[in-house]
Amino acid sequence: MSSDLWQVTWFTAWVAVTSTLVILPPGIALAWLLARRQWPGKSIVETLVALPLVIPPVATGLILLHLFGRRGLLGHWLENSLGIEIVFTWKAVVIATAVMSFPLLVRTARVAFENVSPRVEHVARTLGAGPWRVFWTITLPLARPGVIAGAVLAFARALGEFGATVMVAGFIPGKTETLSLSIYHSVELGRDGEAAAFLAVSVALAFVAVWCSERLLRRVAA
């Protein structure tokens, strides 16, 4: 295996882990809010969160490019006031994968929270636990298998993300080069052997991820 292949593999796995960790806290909070509370604008937020599942990933990437580009709403502010450049860096890759995998986490975790009986939470309250303690000791542990399943789905989605990433991060060797981008790039250049190597690593990585998550889920559910 060439050093390039190692680097791309490592970067892809690192991006998937980072984006999953980044979306976990807001994803869990939003899933809980959608499952347990009524608030104004709820259906709009629900729809917005689901959008990346429905619109083409390339279109999502274009939206992100407009948002985070140098002249974009957020990008302009980030660069001028904080000196942070997003587009065509690893940060863009993480943002693209995070946005694309967020709906999978939220939808799965939401169902998990909805399946926790409010009665059980009520009883915990009468046993002296405040809302925070009930969430951490009752609701979240009972919803854990679903939350983990959502995180695994998000991680898997992040591993394979292509369309949004290529729009907002481009293909910059050594900087924003993920496995799926590399496969496309190799095929485009007619380097079939290289593409096959990237493909093999992708499959192996996906296999390990799914295998681990199945084991984890079985242990949590037991």
Partner 1 sequence: MSLEITRLRLPLASFSLELDARLDAPVTGLFGASGAGKTSLLETIAGLRRPADGLISLDGVVLTDSAALVFRPPESRGVGFVPQDSALFTHLNVQENLCYSQRSRPRATRPGISYEHVRDVLNLGSLVARRIGSLSGGERQRVAFGRALLAAPHLLLLDEPLASLDRELKDQILPYLRLIRDEFKIPMLLVSHSADEIVALCDDVLVLEQGRCVRRGPPAGLFVVSPRPHHELAKPADVSPLKDGAA
- Positions touching partner 1 (CB under 8 A) are 117, 119-120, 122-130, 137-138, 141-142, 144
Which residue, 47 or 117, is less far from partner 1 as judged by CB? 117
Q: How far apart are CB 164 and partner 1 at their closest, in Å? A: 37
Which residue, 43 or 126, is less far from partner 1 as judged by CB? 126
Q: How far apart are CB 199 and partner 1 at their closest, in Å? A: 41
Q: How far apart are CB 147 and partner 1 at their closest, in Å? A: 13
Q: What are phi and psi of 183, to 5 degrees?
A: -60, -50
Which residue, 95 or 124, is less far from partner 1 as judged by CB? 124
Would the CA dihedral through 116, 118, 120, 124 be positive or negative? positive
Q: How far apart are CB 135 and partner 1 at their closest, in Å? A: 13
CB 159 within 8 A of CB 206: yes
Residue 162: both structure tokens together: 């292509």
Q: How far apart are CB 37 and partner 1 at their closest, in Å? A: 15
Backbone conformation region of residue 190, classed left if phi is above 0, alpha if psi is from -120 to 50, else beta:
left
CA distances, 58 to each of 62, 129, 166, 175, 204 (Å): 6, 47, 8, 20, 26
Which residue, 56 or 141, is less far from partner 1 as judged by CB? 141
CA distances, 221 to each of 59, 108, 113, 209 (Å): 38, 16, 15, 18
Which residue, 24 or 220, is less far from partner 1 as judged by CB? 220
List helix spans (H) across 37-114: 42-54, 57-68, 73-77, 90-114
